[in-house]
Amino acid sequence: MAPFNFSFLDLFPYISSIVPAVLWIVIKCVAIILPLILTVAYLTYAERKIIGAMQLRIGPNMVGWFGLLQPIADAIKLLHKETIIPAASNKVLFLTAPLITFCFSLAAWAVIPFDEGLVIANINVGTLYLLATSSLTVYGIILAGWASNSKYAFLGSLRSAAQMISYEVSIGLIIITVLINVGSLNLSEIVLAQHETWFVVYLLPIWVVFFISSLAEANRTPFDLPEAEAELVAGYHVEYSSFSFALFFLGEYANMILLSAMNVILFFGGWLPPFNTPLFQTIPGYVWFALKISFFLFLFIWVRASLPRYRYDQLMRLGWKIFLPISLISVVLVAFFKLLRLGNI
């Protein structure tokens, strides 16, 4: 029997074929994550400036030209603060919870198409992946409240979980109505199906429900009940400070950008221009995509500057007694008209 001689050089042909593919995936991830984190940082600046203009205030204006360095100053301040861990807390889960929320808010961007062919993973079940990753952020919030060993934080996490679950049901049913029209779970196929007419034109009431549910899903005003300072001090992250708090903060704003992207992809044609004219078609698709997301982020901020906070019973009544029946009826009606058009009825 011949002796078995192993050499790492034998693995080189296999490694050389795998490394380029892995390296290309890493490059694409970095090319999306770094601009996203920078966008999240300057979204806080834009929010403070827009709300300041709406309320006849100046907003950030001291750090840098027009206050443009304010997000960097805020980041440096948070990084220099002391990380306080409660003595009676579950320290492992306490530190893991913000990482879960932040990582899952970034993981969903793996299937978001910025332009035709410009996506990290163009999988056929992209919609299911998007729903799964956006739903898992609830675990970070629940763990943060429970691991803090604080009644205020725990109550805040329970309210946040109940709120997100109640509105995710409506979001899921509305996405089903879109999928019935398209016949595919691929996000790029959903965008291409709107080449002639955006879905918002004939699904306008459904989009209104989806947008309001997006506000609740992102814990934004008027549905920012988890952070109701008057009742729960600061909600599920009351015990957090320094970089741990910053991860929750970044995760919330990244989730807001993600929900804006979902609105754009499902109802507003993704990267497609508003009109199929030569002038609009000369503009790259990723530019249209970014402009549409910016419009929805402005709507998020506009709503925050304009509306007061809902009571908790009002929020739950809206989700379960109004939006859920509307979403169910929309699924039935869209499926009925789809079958009618196909001649199966």
First to last CA, the chain: 71
Q: Report angle CA 328, 111, 222 to the nearest 5 degrees.
A: 50
Q: Which helix (H) or strand (E) holds 99?
A: helix 91-107
- Based on its alpha-carbon atoms, the radius of gyration of the chain, rounded to whole angstroms, reads 23
Sign of the dihedral through C-alpha 148, 150, 154, 156? negative
Q: So what's the pLDDT on residue 62?
A: 87
**Peptide linkage before 222 cis (omega within 30 of 0):** yes
Q: Report angle CA 106, 108, 112 to the nearest 5 degrees.
A: 115
SS3 190: helix
Candidates 104, 299, 102, 95; CA nearest to 207 is: 299
The distance of Cα 211 from the centroid of its chain, to the nearest Å, equals: 12
Instruction: Read off the amino acid at residue 293.
Output: I
Q: So what's the pLDDT on residue 152?
A: 83
Tokens of 265: 């992809």
- How big, in percent rounded to 5, are the helix, strand and coil portions of the chain? 70, 0, 25
Q: Are 161 and 142 in contact (CB under 8 A)?
A: yes
Q: Are 265 and 97 in contact (CB under 8 A)?
A: no
Instruction: Read off the amino acid at residue 168.
Output: E
SS3 118: strand
Tokens of 36: 């996203």
Query: From residue 153, how far is each of 90, 120, 222, 277 by CA, in Å?
Result: 13, 36, 20, 53
The tens-digit pLDDT sequence of the chain (345 residues) is: 555 554 544 555 555 566 566 677 777 778 788 888 888 888 989 999 999 999 888 888 888 888 888 888 888 888 888 888 888 888 888 888 888 888 888 888 888 998 888 888 888 888 889 888 887 888 888 888 888 888 888 888 888 888 888 888 899 899 999 998 888 888 999 999 988 889 998 889 999 999 999 998 888 888 887 666 556 567 788 888 888 888 888 888 888 999 999 999 999 988 988 888 777 888 888 899 999 999 999 999 999 888 888 888 888 899 899 999 999 999 999 888 888 887 766
Q: So what's the pLDDT on residue 9?
A: 47
Tokens of 101: 């929320």
Q: Which residues contact 337 (CB under 8 A, 6 or more apart)?
A: none
* Residue appearing with tokens 């579950």: 90
Query: From residue 39, how far is each of 141, 254, 281, 296, 339 by CA, in Å?
Result: 23, 9, 25, 14, 43
Separation CA 298–CA 274 (nearest Å): 19
Q: So what's the pLDDT on residue 345?
A: 61
Separation CA 105–CA 107 (nearest Å): 6
Alpha-helical runs (H) found in 148-241 = 151-182, 187-192, 204-217, 229-232
- In this structure, the dihedral spanned by the alpha carbons of residues 297, 300, 302 and 308, taken in order and rounded to 10 degrees, is -170
Q: So what's the pLDDT on residue 105?
A: 84
Separation CA 173–CA 13 (nearest Å): 48
Q: Report angle CA 40, 46, 50 to the nearest 5 degrees.
A: 145
